[in-house]
Amino acid sequence: MAGKLYIVPTPVGNLEDMTFRAVEVLKQVDLILAEDTRTTSVLLRHYGISKPTEAHHKFNEHARVRPVCGKILSGMNIALVSDAGTPGISDPGFMLTRECAEEGIEVITLPGATAFVPALVDSGLPLDRFAFEGFLPVKKGRQTRLTQLASEGRTMVFYESPYRLAKTLSQMCEYFGADRKASVSREISKIHEETRRGTLQELASWYTDNPPKGEIVLIVEGKDYAGRREQEEAEE
């Protein structure tokens, strides 16, 4: 009888954000696939979990998919975790989930932590419609993508490196307009967590003068809402 694949979210910062169910699943599976076994070992020790772990990351994912599916088909229950958040969201996981689905293997995805949801809610920007963009291309295709997104009507969600944040905000001023509203959330659920809101120009200036550290989620107002807001402000 085939086993199951469990997609298990892990905390993006505070270890206490782990769910009871996630802990129980990790205690019961036969094997844990981890983006970085060293990072995951800290979490496992914190919750007293002692299970075999194997590396499953973007550099070996292609080669690992078929062997992992074979183990599950042979009866093993396997959990997949990333360093932080929900696997598959800008982390390894898509290829394994797709292969398991094609093989008829049951995939159970647990609800849990992901960085962009609290950042989106905290932004003060519209939540009814949004587009998750993850990381922008670093070089090739970057300008093309920014040009395309300039007309995106929905609130946009980006992940960004602290080292590129000021540059990205400056580029968005050029492509989206300097007065477009945005927010930057840093170190979500950690000790130095903060969210800064303003226009793209205000945020670009701030982070140019105050280089950030830590994990970054950038939320940018969509063109539709920006247009309505500007019209309402003009009528006041």
pTM, whole model, 2 decimals? 0.90
Q: What is the pLDDT along the chain (236 residues), one digit of tens a residue?
A: 899 999 999 999 999 999 999 999 999 999 999 999 999 999 999 999 999 999 999 899 999 999 999 999 999 999 999 999 999 998 889 999 999 999 999 999 999 999 999 999 999 999 999 999 999 999 899 999 999 999 999 999 999 999 999 999 999 999 999 999 999 999 999 999 999 999 999 999 999 999 999 999 999 999 988 777 777 777 76
Q: State whether 122 and 228 are in the same domain.
A: yes
- Chosen domain end from 54, 78, 109: 109
- Chosen domain end from 109, 142, 159: 109
Q: State whether 104 and 123 are in the same domain.
A: no
Write the CA distances from 55 to 19, 58, 228, integer angstroms.
Answer: 23, 10, 48
User: Domain containing 223: what range?
Assistant: 116-235
For residue 43, count CB atoms less than 10 angstroms from its CB and return exposed for 0-12, middle for 13-18, buried for 19 or more.
buried
Q: State whether 142 and 123 are in the same domain.
A: yes
The total number of structural domains in the chain stands at 2
φ and ψ at 189, to 5 degrees? 70, 5
Q: Residue 50's pLDDT is what? A: 96
Q: State whether 49 and 123 are in the same domain.
A: no
Q: State whether 55 and 31 are in the same domain.
A: yes
The CATH number of residue 153's host domain is 3.30.950.10
Q: For residue 7, which of 112, 90, 133 has the smallest C-alpha distance?
A: 112
Q: State whether 94 and 121 are in the same domain.
A: no
The CATH number of residue 88's host domain is 3.40.1010.10
Q: State whether 27 and 47 are in the same domain.
A: yes
| Residues 6+ away with beta carbon under 8 Å from 65 | 95, 96, 99
Q: State whether 126 and 219 are in the same domain.
A: yes
Q: State whether 97 and 174 are in the same domain.
A: no
Q: State whether 68 and 163 are in the same domain.
A: no
Percent of the chain with pLDDT strictly greater than 70: 99
Q: State whether 124 and 146 are in the same domain.
A: yes
- Chosen domain end from 90, 109, 128: 109
Q: State whether 98 and 166 are in the same domain.
A: no
